[in-house]
Structure 1
Amino acid sequence: MTATVLPASRTERAATDAAATAWALAARSGDRHAAERFVRALHNDVLCYVVHLSGDPQTAHDLTQDTFVRAFGSLHRFEGRASARTWLLSIARRAVADSFRHAAARPRLADTSDWQAAVERTQPRGLPGFEEGVALLDLLDALPDERREAFVLTQVVGLSYEETAGFTGCAVGTVRSRVSRARAALERQFLGAEAPAAPAA
């Protein structure tokens, strides 16, 4: 399943961040209602980030769940110095990295000679926006990791350039440059895919 999100305004995002951070702090004290609201407020952002970071929509829900399990396990250490969103996305990033390491260390077995065709047959079809979502994932997957992450955090998740810079540990100008280059590369790829094939000589 492909996750999509419409960009929120800066005011809306700031309000969501403040509320989610307050709910996280309340959940730390054992407030179950606040814990549920914290998850609902940020679940889609985490899912979007995990999908684009991992490039694997099939495992995104498991990784999102793992992110929240890890977050609640370390919630007692969350003090609200950064927003709950930024804190949660850093946990999601580690969850994805750990899944890559685990997958690389695990042997892969298949009971079919054409495992790729078998995987493709299990993909959902006919869902609204499915093909567009897959196309976007393919385009994003072709970007260098740093540019893809900067683009997803700012254009999909909705973090500001300053928040993304703090999250990724680089300068704001670097984030702007990565997003600009990612956008230009995506535009070139998209226009190239849409261009009609040249007639045969």
Structure 2
Amino acid sequence: MAAPGSTGRRTGGLRSLIRGPVTPVDDHDAVVGALYREYQRPLLTFVLRLTGDRQWAEDVVQETMIRAWRSADQLDERVSLMPWLATVARRIVIDNRRHREARPVEVGDGPLENLPTTSGTDGMDGLLRKVVIAEALASLSDAHREALTETVLRDRTVNQAAEALGIPVGTVKSRVYYALRALRVAMEERGVTA
């Protein structure tokens, strides 16, 4: 076993890190324990340089050791394990960065607490009401919908709406009146009061 604080360069394989005899059942655990004792410090130093965050670096080292434990049988014949461990750790850091960049930034609940809600709910009532109104508007005739669009949605006077639609002012007034009545009935049929 190399002296504590060594760079982890070995001339033997992974099994040479283990002190004393081990049974096949403890073999993986003993290998990973020895691997951790030998390579944890240099690997942590390496990962710290990659991440700049100690907690993240410790998580990466732990995940690297788990992967080494899963691959213990394949690591037996390797001369030096530090290059393999460093490569695995670097790939984990890269994957973590990609994962963080792919996810939207989490902002917590603070900004959501200040949003106004409809009648104490989470806003679903308002959304459902808008959907019902859109369906009710779609059920109107084209002439009635155009009259409402010009006067209500575009906030035009009856005279401006008549000019835009190319129809007499009296016709616009009549269409708006009957459109509002039909809209009210359509909304009541859908369970929404105007």
TM-score > 0.5 by shorter chain: no
The structure that is helix-richer by fraction is 1
* Structure having the higher Rg: 2
TM range (shorter): 0.3 to 0.5
Length-normalised TM-score, structure 2: 0.43
Higher relative contact order (CA 8 A, sep 6+): 1
Length-normalised TM-score, structure 1: 0.42
